[in-house]
Structure formats: C-alpha cells, structure tokens
Structure 1
Amino acid sequence: MNAARGGGSVENGIANFAPLAATVFLALVMLLPVGTGVANVMMPHFVLIATFYWLLRRPVLMPYGACAAIGFLLDLWLDVPLGLNMLMLLSTRLFILSQIKYLRGQTRLVQWLVFALFTLILYTLSWFAVALAKRDWLPVEPLFTQWLVTTLSYAPVALVIGRLRRVMV
C-alpha cells in the first residue's frame, strides 16, 4: 500500500546502494594483483570510471562523503599520497554536477570523449602533485599508459554498470 502511494519500498532502498556497492567492488578488483614479472598489466582506474558513470546517471546516490571515503581508502591501499584519489573523485563529482545539464542529453561517444579529456587533466594534475610530494620529476610514460588504459576501459565498464543499473531499477 505504501509503494502504491509513492512511498519507497525495500527493493528500491536496496537498489539505492547499487552505485556505492558497485564502486566498492570495482575498487577491490583494482587491488587484484594482475600480471607476472614477465608481462605486467596496468589496471584501469575502475573507481574513477564508476564514479563518472554513476554521477551522470544518479548523482544523488553517489554523495560527496562516499566519493571521499572511497578515494581515501584507495589512497591507503595504493600507497599514493593521502588525499590524491579522494581529490580526484571529489573533483569528478564537482565537474559532473556543474556540467550535468550539458552531458545528460549527449551520446555515449560524447560522454566518453569528455571522460577522456577530463581524466587526462586529472592524471596530469595528479602527476604534478606526486612529483611535488616526492620532490622529483617522475616519468610520464606510466601516467600516459594508465590514462590510456582507463580511457579505453570506460566503454566496456560503463556497459556492465549500465546493465547492473537496469537490473536494479
């Protein structure tokens, strides 16, 4: 009866945790040791992809606190300067919220291109931040490779997350 009047149901309440649960799951996937000593494979930044995707679709379900907490845990797990991933995810939220009216009606290709450009800027700024923290210029090739792998992974990861979103709603 409550659901018929427009009230929330238990299923809808559980579905509201899907973005956070999917993002945490992808964070755990990011931490898997991939590759061998012979062929080391670089892992895409799945959390950045998931955050960008969910903020475009359901920004209310990925609040600032969730972005900050997941980013902080990533900083601890990945052994990068504390606050780096947290700032990246919070910057993603601020960017999406400021541009959502322009991005929502766009095709997936345009959204992917915006993701590629935005993440290039984020990775470049993070490279400068790490270089300042370590007081040494770091090689650019790993940064570019990480950006390329993340950018190319956006479409398939967004497709899987989109399927999850359709199942949960």
Structure 2
Amino acid sequence: MKNLRPNMTRFGLPGFIPLLITLLMAIIMLLPIGTGAANVTMPHLVLISVFYYMSYRPLLLPYGACAFVGFMLDLWLDVPLGMNMAMLVLTRFFVLNQLKHYRGKSAVFQWGTFGLLTVVLYTMSWALMSMINREMWPVVPHLTQWLVTLFAYAPVALLLGRFRKAFL
C-alpha cells in the first residue's frame, strides 16, 4: 500500500537548513553594528529563527540543536551560561505545546503569539540577571531589546518564509 502521508522531514543537507540558518542568524547577531557614539540594538535573530522554524518545521530543529545554539550564543555574548539556551529550549517547548492553537492562523496572530512569548522570556532574563548581580538591573535595555526583536519578527519571518518555500 502506498504511503499517503506527506514526508514531514527531509534528511541530508535539506534537513540541516534550519539549523544552519539559525547559526547564521547567531553570527549576524555578533556583527559589530554601530559606533561608540550611536550603538544600535540588535534583535534576537536566533529567537526569531527558532520560533519561525518551530512553527513550520518542528522536527528539523530538535531540543539538542536549540540547546547547542543557545549555549554557543551564551559563550559568544558573555552572558550567564544557560540563559539563551534556556530561552531557546523554552521557546521550542512552548511552540510544540501551543502549535495546535495557532497553526494555520494569520501572520498577525503568530506575531502576537511571538510577542507574548518573548515578553515572558525577556522578563525572565531580566529577573535572572538581577538575581545573579544582586541588584536591580535597569528595565529600559531589556524593554528596548524586546521591542526591537518584536518589530524585527515580521521582516525576518518574511525572509525565512521565502527561503523555506524555495528550499524546503
């Protein structure tokens, strides 16, 4: 009997494309943008990439890949070890549990879901940084980072969608 189920995963090089793109997003995040006088806040492109690919191709970005990219990002950004790793693993966990509720909805609904998830994650990271340093960290940098990431989601997701439709 013929298998009527569509192939949800691809193995080989196409199966690694989401991981490679997520690593490329991490490298782009590390580029020195801005000057000492006018520093530009970089959106969390890795978080956008993980949320996007988990929403459309969840099998191609497993927990281990999210943990690996998050750990490498922690090392590169010189933040407490495990913070970005926890953010990416929690993003994967959230999307897998809530995918049935927002799959097939409009892009605006997915953007709102991303916004709610990231406000929780950024609040968690702010609280963790405050506890580690034993002082209240300023809220404005975390709020600015969250807003930049939130508004960068739409154009980055558009680019990721075009790439996904072309190659996956």
TM-score range, shorter chain: over 0.9
Cross-structure match for 1:45 = 44
> How big is each residue's C-alpha offset from its partner over 1:89-131, in whole Å with a ceiling of 9 and x where there is no partner?
0000000000011111211000000101110010001100111
Cross-structure match for 2:53 = 54
Cross-structure match for 1:3 = none
Aligned pairs (5 A) from 1:21-40: 21-40=20-39
- In the aligned structure 2, how far is the partner of 1:33 from the partner of 1:46? 15
Alignment gaps of 5+ in structure 1: 1-5
Cross-structure match for 1:83 = 82
- Look up the equivalent residue of 1:124 and give its one-letter code: T
- In the aligned structure 1, how far is the partner of 2:135 from the partner of 2:73? 23
The structural deviation recorded for 1:12 is 5.8
The structural deviation recorded for 1:13 is 2.4
- Look up the equivalent residue of 2:123 and give its one-letter code: T
- After TM superposition, the score normalised by the length of structure 1 is 0.92
- Look up the equivalent residue of 2:44 and give its one-letter code: H
- After TM superposition, the score normalised by the length of structure 2 is 0.93
- In the aligned structure 1, how far is the partner of 2:79 from the partner of 2:144? 17
Residue 64 (str. 1) matches residue 60 (str. 2): no
- In the aligned structure 2, how far is the partner of 1:34 from the partner of 1:137? 27
Cross-structure match for 1:97 = 96
- Look up the equivalent residue of 1:81 and give its one-letter code: P
The structural deviation recorded for 1:40 is 0.6
Identity of aligned residues (%): 53
- In the aligned structure 2, how far is the partner of 1:103 from the partner of 1:13? 29
SS at match of 2:12: helix
Cross-structure match for 1:118 = 117
> How big is each residue's C-alpha offset from its partner over 1:43-78, in whole Å with a ceiling of 9 and x where there is no partner?
000000000000000000000000000000000000
Cross-structure match for 1:127 = 126
Bigger shift: 63-72 or 12-21?
12-21
SS at match of 1:53: helix
- In the aligned structure 1, how far is the partner of 2:150 from the partner of 2:142? 12
- In the aligned structure 2, how far is the partner of 1:82 from the partner of 1:12? 31
- Look up the equivalent residue of 2:29 and give its one-letter code: M
Residue 149 (str. 1) matches residue 128 (str. 2): no
SS at match of 1:16: helix
- In the aligned structure 2, how far is the partner of 1:65 from the partner of 1:109? 29
Alignment gaps of 5+ in structure 2: none
Cα RMSD over matched residues?
1.4
SS at match of 1:17: helix
Cross-structure match for 1:167 = 166
SS at match of 1:137: coil
